[in-house]
């Protein structure tokens, strides 16, 4: 909490802005610390992996000389902390090494796979916001009524369904039986490679280039996996909205608003919801971040060429550079989104200044 007396002293006071700057600075520091922690953990995981990084590169039939040379080149003879610094330095230069599986630099793979995950998570989050927030508000306003029970049960269901299983069942029904949507994958083979990757997000690229047939094919592919993730996000957002809203509706300022003679719409949306919105920013950020990582299972079921599938496939092929690179990128975007929502929160909530 800020010291209210300093803020009270003058209307045009630059102190609040200094405070915001300092808090954002604190956020950046936190990000740095988390970054170091993330890299340290992934580094340790990479080092204690049961497979030999040298063999992973030169193959197990290489001569002893080749092996030794690569051993030295990787700096494995140096003390562990030096190895970590080399690792850190490489990462900062965007060098995650080469992937054994795809034989290309890991950073190139990530550039190719990450937009697909981003596409899924973004759509799911947007759907979650559009449906989840009104549902949560409605449930809170009608607490204990039928609509409240429905929203609560849907909210709890969304948190209880194994998404990978639901994805399978949805594929069975909507693709195999009804043939309403396209099957696994991001785009039909027939349309693959028509659109030049500008952003890497097929929906955007095809729209920019006017390839509407590609666009609609991509839409047909993304509907099911995006819905699976959207169930999770809308359940979580609706549940949190409901609980925040109930909390706010019991606050005394809501009584004040009613005493003023405002109608229920104004009391709910103009007064209570304003306060809920401030809290929801953090929740939406969290949802988005967890969808980025939580899409691993959905991507597996729908053969969606995203970062989650990339990491799991690499894991099974003992492709450590790819696992470390992918994990780090997901972890960093996770931290970055949370930091962004934190900054946004400080800007929107007058009390945080």
CA 133 from centre of chain: 19
Query: Half-sphere exposure (CA, 13 Å, Cβ side) for 8?
Result: 3
Quick check: 269 binds another protein (CB under 8 A)?
no
- Tell me which residues in 204-223 interact with another protein (CB under 8 A): none
Take residue 245 and report the two structure tokens written for it: 């809203």
- From 53-61, 112-120, 213-221, 325-333, span contacting another protein (CB under 8 A): 325-333
Q: Is residue 107 within the footprint of another protein (CB under 8 A)?
A: no
Among 18, 72, 86, 168, which residue interacts with another protein (rule: CB under 8 A)?
168
Please tell me whether residue 338 binds another protein under the rule CB under 8 A.
yes
Should residue 237 be labelled a site residue for another protein when binding is judged by CB under 8 A?
Answer: no
d(CA 119, CA 295) in angstroms, rounded, equals 11
Is 258 a binding residue for another protein by CB under 8 A? The answer is yes
Q: Is 99 in the site for another protein (CB under 8 A)?
A: no
**Is there a contact between 335 and 34 (Cβ–Cβ < 8 Å)?**
yes
Of the residues 54, 56, 129, 335, which one makes contact with another protein according to CB under 8 A? 335
Eight-class DSSP state of 181: S
Find out whether 128 and 228 touch, Cβ atoms under 8 Å. Answer: no
Q: Which of 21, 28, 45, 92 binds another protein (CB under 8 A)?
A: 45
**Applying CB under 8 A, does 250 fall inside the site for another protein?**
yes
Give the separation between CA 314 and CA 227, rounded to whole angstroms.
26
Which stretch, 52-60, 129-137, 214-222, 293-301, contacts another protein (CB under 8 A)? 293-301
Which of the ranges 4-12, 80-88, 90-98, 191-199 carries the binding residues for another protein, by CB under 8 A?
4-12
> H or E stretch including 137?
helix 106-141
101 or 204: CB nearest another protein: 101
**Residue 311, interface with another protein (CB under 8 A)?**
yes
- Closest by CA to 232, choosing from 160, 300, 292, is 160
In the complex, what is the shortest distance from the CB of residue 68 to another protein, in angstroms, rounded to a whole number? Answer: 26
With respect to another protein, which residue has the nearer C-beta, 8 or 93? Answer: 8
By CB under 8 A, tell whether 101 contacts another protein. no
Among 18, 94, 149, 180, binds another protein (CB under 8 A): 149
- Identify any residues that bridge with 105 across adjacent strands, giving them in sequence order: 98
Q: Is 25 in the site for another protein (CB under 8 A)?
A: no
**Does 127 participate in binding another protein (rule CB under 8 A)?**
no
CA distances for 207 relative to 123, 127, 194, 218, angstroms: 16, 20, 12, 11
Instruction: Return the SS3 of 183.
Output: coil
- Residue 260 found at the interface with another protein (CB under 8 A): yes
Q: How far is the CB of 284 from another protein (least distance, A)?
A: 17
With binding defined as CB under 8 A, does residue 330 bind another protein? Answer: yes
Inter-CA distances, 136 with 157, 219, 233, 247, Å: 15, 28, 12, 12
Angle between the N-to-C axes of helices 146-158 and 212-249, in degrees from 0 to 180, rounded to the nearest 10: 120
Q: Which of residues 176-205 bind another protein (CB under 8 A)?
A: 176
The token duo for 232 is 């999770």
Residue 145 binding another protein, by CB under 8 A: no
With contacts defined by CB under 8 A, how many residues of the chain interact with another protein? 81
Tell me the C-alpha distance between 330 and 336, whole Å: 10
d(CA 302, CA 309): 10
The yes or no reply on residue 347 touching another protein (CB under 8 A) is no
Residue 105 has φ and ψ, to the nearest 5°, of: -60, 140
Taking the least distance from each CB to another protein, the nearer of 88 and 204 is 88
């Amino acid at each position: 909490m800020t010291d209210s007396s300093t803020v009270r002293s003058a209307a045009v006071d630059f102190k609040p802005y200094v405070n915001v700057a300092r808090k954002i600075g604190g956020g950046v520091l936190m990000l740095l610390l988390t970054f170091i922690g993330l890299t340290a953990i992934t580094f340790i995981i990479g080092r204690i992996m049961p497979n030999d990084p040298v063999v992973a590169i030169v193959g197990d039939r290489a001569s002893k000389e080749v092996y030794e040379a690569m051993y030295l080149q990787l700096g494995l003879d140096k003390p562990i902390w030096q190895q970590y610094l080399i690792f850190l330095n490489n990462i900062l230069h965007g060098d995650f090494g080469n992937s054994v599986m795809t034989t290309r630099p890991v950073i190139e793979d990530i550039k190719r796979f990450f937009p697909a995950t981003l596409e899924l998570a973004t759509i799911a989050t947007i759907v979650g916001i559009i449906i989840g927030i009104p549902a949560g508000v409605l449930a809170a306003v009608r607490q204990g009524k039928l609509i409240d029970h429905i929203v609560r049960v849907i909210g709890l269901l969304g948190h209880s369904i194994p998404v990978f299983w639901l994805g399978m069942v949805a594929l069975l029904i909507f693709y195999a039986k009804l043939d309403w949507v396209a099957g696994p994958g991001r785009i039909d083979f027939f349309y693959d490679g028509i659109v030049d990757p500008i952003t890497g997000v097929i929906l955007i690229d095809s729209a920019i280039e006017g390839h509407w047939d590609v666009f609609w094919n991509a839409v047909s592919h993304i509907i099911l996996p995006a819905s699976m993730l959207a169930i999770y996000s809308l359940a979580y957002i609706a549940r949190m909205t409901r609980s925040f809203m109930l909390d706010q509706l019991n606050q005394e300022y809501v009584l004040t608003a009613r005493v003023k003679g405002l109608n229920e719409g104004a009391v709910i949306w103009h007064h209570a919801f304003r306060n809920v919105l401030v809290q929801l920013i953090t929740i939406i950020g969290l949802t988005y971040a967890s969808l980025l990582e939580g899409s691993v299972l959905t991507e597996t079921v729908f053969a969606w060429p995203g970062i989650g599938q990339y990491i799991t496939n690499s894991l099974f092929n003992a492709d450590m550079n790819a696992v470390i690179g992918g994990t780090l990128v997901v972890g960093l975007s996770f931290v970055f989104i949370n930091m962004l929502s934190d900054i946004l929160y400080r800007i929107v909530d007058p009390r945080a200044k």
